[in-house]
Amino acid sequence: MASATVRNVPLLDDDTIPFGEEDEMRDPSTAAKKYTHPYVTFFHLFFRGASIVIYMFCGWFSDSFITSFVFVVLFLSADFWTVKNISGRLLVGLRWWNYVDDDGKSHWVFESKNSRVNKHEQRIFWLGLILCPFFWGLFFLMALFGLKFKWLLLVMIAIALNAANLYGYVKCNYGANKDLNSAATDFMKTQLFKNAFDIMTKPNAAAPPTNVRPTGVV
């Protein structure tokens, strides 16, 4: 299923594999593996984590703000491009992008494909997508109250890039026409019901049931 803000959405110029047909190009032998896209999963976290680590410890290796600024922005840019164009598409089957029509009007497109995704990769994708903006938010408060205004600019760039991907994928996942408050509420409800279901269905190891006959395979 693909959701978009306009009709007759054009294909991307670099869309060598049509969106939603990635599974047909996958090696069948990877289906039984825990991670079907291990390298994509690694780089989804690597660039995000590297930018945070460099920001935290750049003072140990260089006293130059310009050098630290450049390295952090490079990793932030690599992370933004990777998450937007690769990991979101392969790990969770989502994509968001923008195009300008013949009248010069800009349109935002949010797409979601109907395909099975790897639960481990899906969990890692959303975990990295949500946690990293939280860390940059903490760095923003530290730079603000510490009156480190030059670092504040760098943190604001990081927040903008991370927030753009987070906003785009939330819109993809919950529908382009649904507001974020409703999307956040649905997300919390889903997580609460899932946790409650896991607790109720989890077997009790301390007191195993007796005289129970299996009725089927779940």
pLDDT tens-digit readout, 22-61: 555 555 555 556 778 899 999 999 999 999 999 999 888 8
Note the pLDDT of residue 157.
95
Q: What are phi and psi of 71, to 5 degrees?
A: -65, -40
Beta partners for residue 112, in sequence order: 94
Note the pLDDT of residue 206.
47
Q: Is the pLDDT of residue 216 over 50?
A: no
**Percentage of residues in the chain having pLDDT higher than 90:** 39
- Read off the pLDDT band of 205 (50, 70, 90): very low
Note the pLDDT of residue 5.
41
Average pLDDT over residues 190-196: 63
- ∠ Cα 132 26 31 (to 5°): 80
Note the pLDDT of residue 182.
60
Note the pLDDT of residue 195.
63
Quote the tokens at residue 189. 């409800």
- Read off the pLDDT band of 9 (50, 70, 90): low
pTM of the model: 0.67
**Do 162 and 132 touch, CB atoms closer than 8 A?**
yes
* More confident site: 84 or 193: 84
CA dist., res. 122 & res. 120, Å (int): 5
Q: According to the per-residue pLDDT averaged within each range, which of 26-35, 93-102, 152-161 is highest?
A: 152-161
- Read off the pLDDT band of 191 (50, 70, 90): low
Note the pLDDT of residue 189.
61
Q: Is the pLDDT of residue 81 over 50?
A: yes
Mean pLDDT (the chain, rounded): 77
Helix (H, G, I), strand (E, B) or coil at 68: helix
Note the pLDDT of residue 211.
43
What's the start-to-end Cα distance of the chain, in Å?
Answer: 27
Per-residue model confidence as pLDDT tens digits over 167-181: 999 988 887 445 555
Note the pLDDT of residue 4.
43
Helix (H, G, I), strand (E, B) or coil at 85: helix
Of 128, 120, 210, 204, nearest to 169 (Cα)? 128
* More confident site: 17 or 147: 147
Show Cβ contacts of residue 177 under 8 Å, excluding neighbours closer than 6 positions. 3
